[in-house]
Chain A
Amino acid sequence: MDKLDGDSMKMNLVLELSDTPGQLVNSLEPFRELGANLVSVIHDRTDKNENGKIPVQITVEGERQNLEKIIETLENNGISILKVDGSIRTIKISTILIGHIIDTDVRDTVDKLNDLDDVTVVAMEVKFNNEEKSSGLITVEMPFGLKNTVLNKIKEIANSKDLLVINEI
């Protein structure tokens, strides 16, 4: 955030909205409520992301506290924020795998995910029971926009190794 007079700041955001009527207006509501001034809004319906959603670039001016509140409110309203001031927002997702996790080369499973650009496996925990089958929890960190790509990759790996995959809803 760029510092302006007093405690006022400027912030650049990239949101992601679905292409349905009212989405843009709804997403701007928290800015009005928290008394932040919109400097610019760039919204081009013809420029869609891979997931069919529209990126919206917003520059806003306001008090630091209020700007932070806006981010919180937007996320609570289920609006994806891809970038804040140029840095990519990341999310973590957890997935459970059940099957012969170790025997099917657990290292290879992790590598295949890490090979995706900007995707990192940040945690993995495997538990065994008396049988050969094990259960593993994988936590992966990625840029917001890549969630579906990662989920599909996990499914693809699981299918090829005959593992049951339990993804987040």
Chain B
Amino acid sequence: MKDLRLCIMGFGAVGQGLAKVVLLKKENIKELYGVELKIVSVADSSTSAISTDGLDEEELIRVKKETGKLANYPEYGSNISGLDVLDECEYDVLLEATPTNIVDAEPARSLTLKAFEQGKDVVTSNKGHLALNFNELLDAALKNNVIFKFEASVGGTMPIINLAQETLPANNVESIVGILNGTTNYILSRMTSEGTSYENTLKESQQLGIAETDPTQDVEGIDAACKTVILANSVLGIPAKYDDVKVKGISDITSEAIYLADKEGYLIKLIAEVSKDNLEVSPRLVKKGSAFDINGTLNMATVTTDLSGKVTVRGIGAGSVETAAAMLTDLIHIIREKYKV
């Protein structure tokens, strides 16, 4: 039996979700692939827990939830943080789940590049470094002969990058049009069903924890624009940068506009369009009952291909375990490629 040593950077919702899915699926993975998953190091923003013998998944979550810091992990807690964690303990795969930073992409960019230099494969849920430094990261992965997977960065658990790359490789993808931000879809869905104003609906979403205290990244379309850049680069081969995307969010949408659309059989949705001719995130009218008619925090995407026509997927666009599941799928891809006995 071969051990596969995992380093988890970032221990918020997604990081804790990773601990959960590893706990839930490690027996399965052992049976199927003859590989034993072992979490050897986990870091939050300022501390970590590190043990070459492996850490207990439930204990990690308990310590983080109850004390707020992984430094309090019995015996193996420490104040080592950031890049140093990667030097402190031998590992095989980095699971990178730090918060998205759209200004300078840190710490995700440095962590990822360092892991590549150490010859390690990386799975990420982060969007910042992919949106800002896509080519740099892909080149570095290639140069170091490692695998870099990022399905969880777009659409949460909804398969889209692997769908296009692994499942539909006979096709050229001509465009991807979809709803790639769950928070705004929730707000617009509620404005439609309740007839409420944007401001009140945003407040309600914040109280429910669906929108963040600072909702800018979601409501101004920045999050969806990052995903547009990632899809453009990874699926359509367009060397797009964040600034190439025309971005308009939903904060100017009025309940009157939603009412008028509704009367004519339309819904207003924040739509991301990825094609050679257009990289755009903007509110658009979609027909009721069409593939774009999805409610709540769901995401969807229609992939238009040259041979298979249109293929549409939908799924849960965020969430702790759901996003972690997409990362575990990427990890299993790496296991199949490199570690399967």
Contact = CB atoms under 8 A, between A and B. Distances in A.
Interface in A109-148: 125, 127-129, 133-137, 139
B256 A134 contact: yes
A94 interface: yes
Interface residues of A, number: 21
B329 interface: no
B260 interface: yes
A106 interface: no
B252 A96 contact: no
Q: Select the residue from A20, A95, A98 with max chain B CB neighbours within 10 A.
A: A98
Contacts of A164: 248, 252-253, 283
A129 B200 CA distance: 14
Nearest to B310: A78
Interface string B179-212: 0000000000000000001000000000000000
Interface in B220-271: 248, 252-257, 259-261, 263-264, 266, 268, 271
B286 interface: yes
B286 A98 contact: no
A39 interface: no
B260 A136 contact: yes
Given A98-B253, A129-B254, A166 B259 contact: no
Nearest to A167: B284
A166 B257 contact: yes
Interface string A146-169: 000000000000000000101111
B260 A169 contact: no
Contacts of B282: 166
B260 A135 contact: yes
Contacts of A168: 266, 284-286
Contacts of A99: 252
Given A20-B306, A168-B285, A169-B271, A96 B292 contact: no
Given A94-B285, A96-B268, A137-B264, A169 B257 contact: no
B177 interface: yes
Contacts of A136: 260
A98 to B, nearest CB: 5
Contact of B254 (A20, A94, A98, A139): A98
Contacts of A167: 284-285
A129 B284 contact: no
Q: Select the residue from A99, A136, A139, A168 with max chain B CB neighbours within 10 A.
A: A168
A46 to B, nearest CB: 21
- The 9 A-B residue pairs with the shortest CB-CB distance, nearest first, are A127-B256, A135-B257, A135-B256, A137-B260, A168-B285, A169-B284, A135-B254, A166-B283, A164-B252
Given A98-B254, A167-B284, 20 more contacts: A20-B306, A94-B285, A95-B285, A96-B285, A127-B259, A129-B197, A129-B254, A134-B256, A137-B264, A166-B257, A166-B261, A166-B283, A166-B285, A167-B285, A168-B284, A168-B286, A169-B177, A169-B271, A169-B284, A169-B286
7 contacts: A96-B257, A96-B260, A127-B259, A135-B257, A135-B260, A166-B283, A166-B285
